[in-house]
């Protein structure tokens, strides 16, 4: 999509999360909740408490529907002026290119596997994380589009890292809750 801004043309890229997220989440939810609710109905029908189970099932179904709608509306808009992100629950975040100090593209191993996913960290001039785009949600081509669209050179680490190695190299990149959990577990 091309936009005119004065006499210059800005190319705006609209990116969406991986398409497989919703089907995988639905399959996982069904695998968990079908047996669970089958047992709950089986136990509650003789006691005439099945309406409570039905209410719980309706509530979880509503939460699932909100998740599906939220994922389908998630977007990442990129141009040379900056990033605009619409998150899962509709929260919008805008990052101007002037606030972005650097970009870091890291491949992180998945836990206990040899597979790895890309992670793009958008950092300010103090190396604090402004935005973390995970390979769980965004494809490598989408992350490369962000780098190209912003026009900012990205530091690319040559080899995949484990989460522990990343924490040792650049502890500020890990989410503070993850760092806290690692400190508590030793």
Say how many C-beta atoms besides its own lie within 10 A of residue 26's C-beta.
Answer: 13
Q: Residue 185's pLDDT is what?
A: 60
Instruction: Give me the chain's average pLDDT, please.
Output: 82
CATH 2.30.29 is held by the domain 81-185: yes
- Give the closest residue to 83 by CA, choosing from 130, 126, 119, 134: 130
Supply 128's token pair: 């604090």
Q: Residue 5's pLDDT is what?
A: 43
Going by their DSSP bridges, the two strands 13-15 and 8-11 should be labelled as unpaired
Domain boundaries, given as residue ranges, for the chain: 21-72, 81-185
What pLDDT digit, counting tens, does each position of 123-142 carry?
888 878 888 888 888 888 88
pTM of this prediction exceeds 0.85: no
Q: What is the distance between the alpha carbons of residues 180 and 183, in angstroms, rounded to a whole number?
A: 5
């Amino acid at each position: 999509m091309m936009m005119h801004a004065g006499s210059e043309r800005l190319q705006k890229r609209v990116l969406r999360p991986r398409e497989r997220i919703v089907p995988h989440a639905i399959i996982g939810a069904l695998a968990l909740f079908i047996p669970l609710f089958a047992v709950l109905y089986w136990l509650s029908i003789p006691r005439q408490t099945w309406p409570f189970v039905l209410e719980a099932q309706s509530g979880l179904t509503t939460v699932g529907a909100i998740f599906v709608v939220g994922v389908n509306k998630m977007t990442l808009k990129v141009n040379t002026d900056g990033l605009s992100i619409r998150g899962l629950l509709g929260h919008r975040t805008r990052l101007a290119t002037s606030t972005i100090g650097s970009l870091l593209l890291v491949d992180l191993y998945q836990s206990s596997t040899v597979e790895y996913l890309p992670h793009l960290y958008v950092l300010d001039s103090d190396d604090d994380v402004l935005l973390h785009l995970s390979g769980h949600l965004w494809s490598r081509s989408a992350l490369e589009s962000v780098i190209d669209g912003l026009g900012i050179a990205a530091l690319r680490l040559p080899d995949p890292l484990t989460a522990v190695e990343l924490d040792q190299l650049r502890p500020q990149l890990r989410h503070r809750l993850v760092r806290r959990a690692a400190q508590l577990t030793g």
